[in-house]
Amino acid sequence: MYNYCTLFDSNYLIRGLAMYESLKTYSKNFHLYIFAFDELTEKILREINYPDITVISLTEFEDAELLSVKPTRTKEEYCWTSTPSTLKYCIEKFKLNFCTYVDADIYFYNDPSCLIEEMGDKSVLITPHWYTPVYDQSATSGIYCVQFITFKNTSEGMKILEWWRRSCIEWCYARFEDGKFGDQKYLDNWPEKFKGVHVLKNKGGGVAPWNVQQYNLEDDSKLMIIEKKTGKQFPLIFYHYHNLKFLPSGDIDLGPYFLNQMVIRKLYLPYISHLIKIFKNLQELGFTIDLFPKTPVQENWKTILKRNFAKLNIFNKFFFSLFNNIPETFWNKRDNNFLLFFKRGLRLLTLSNNIIKIPKEEKWLIF
């Protein structure tokens, strides 16, 4: 039995259900523990009552240590703070041999058990970002991504998990500070700091908007990715739909990364279709939940500047191709503040306006 856990509130409920349904399509021997981070999510999940899901409420999960820091964290930061605690709770409460945390906005295209099996007798599995050079933010966001991370119930595994949990309770914020960022930068030195840590090698596990530019998609029934640099082929295990936003206008923003038309057609459009289908199913069952926000999300001036610049940036493909040919050592350098600022400026020139416009005559089908 492969045990997975995830956490989300009603804002990510539809994505979490899509993740579950994709997992169920390819994995026949699994159980998913969902930590419901608001009452609406708990209510809907308990009423749907999937047989291979265990729903865990905040009242069941939160302990004194988490509650003591909750007022000091934003919603996002508290979710990050809680990630290692969800794993610890599942392993100890349900006496699991191992458990894998999965982000709610991941979507599976093959059975992920091969990723877990790859770790062999190691106690912890972590997944690299595998950044496309121009998007490399290892210095501020981390070498590894807390998107798919496995801990075994061994002395080594639980020691690392407890260290991570205490570190996140002590400091876990959505900013880069003193070599830390959220729950993620803590992972940077695990392969050297701890024994028993395996770094995933299968690049089919961890395809995301920050690295998909390195691959071609094989256009057949079984999605394969081909690494442009080496020509190696991998089955696509999962894609991380980071930064995908539903807008109050009824349109959809795929994020600021450069995405080619094959990626949009083969990955994003079917995924969005699945999200809308789940949304409609919930409506038919009598649940009231929003897919598109009714009021504009408050954005800071940096976000507004980036969004408007992306709309005008018709040369993003040219700049992406140009900057991505700069040696990787340039993007990997981390010890120069001026260089970090300069790299942010270069990335700004690659921003894409990936807005999917839904025709007016079709919007009534969604709202």
* pLDDT one-digit tens code per residue, 150-180: 999 999 999 999 999 999 999 999 999 999 9
Give pLDDT, residue 300.
74
> Does pTM surpass 0.85?
yes
3-class SS of residue 8: strand
Domain ranges of the chain: 2-205, 246-313+351-363
Q: Which of 148, 150, 144, 158 is nearest to 192 (CA)?
A: 144
* pLDDT one-digit tens code per residue, 318-348: 999 898 888 888 887 776 778 888 888 898 8
Buried b (16+ CB within 10 A) or exposed e, 190-216: bbeebebbbbbeebbbbbbbbbbbbbb
Q: Which CATH superfamily is domain 2-205 in?
A: Spore Coat Polysaccharide Biosynthesis Protein SpsA; Chain A (3.90.550.10)
Give pLDDT, residue 367.
45
Give pLDDT, residue 359.
64
Q: Above pLDDT 70, what percent of the chain?
A: 95
Structure tokens at 257: 């990364």
C-alpha to C-alpha distance for 272 and 18, rounded to whole angstroms? 10
* pLDDT one-digit tens code per residue, 133-150: 999 999 889 999 999 999
Give the rounded distance of the alpha carbon of 269 from its chain centre.
18
How far apart, in Å, are the Cα atoms of 255 and each of 25, 109, 209, 303, 363? 27, 21, 8, 12, 21
Find where tokens 């940096």 sit. 302
Residue 64 predicted with pLDDT over 70? yes
DSSP class of residue 266? Answer: I
Q: Which of 23, 27, 39, 26 is nearest to 287 (CA)?
A: 39
345 Cβ contact partners less than 8 Å away, ≥ 6 residues apart: none
- Residue type at position 338: F
Give pLDDT, residue 364.
45
Structure tokens at 192: 């050297």
Q: What is the average pLDDT value for the chain, to the nearest integer?
A: 92
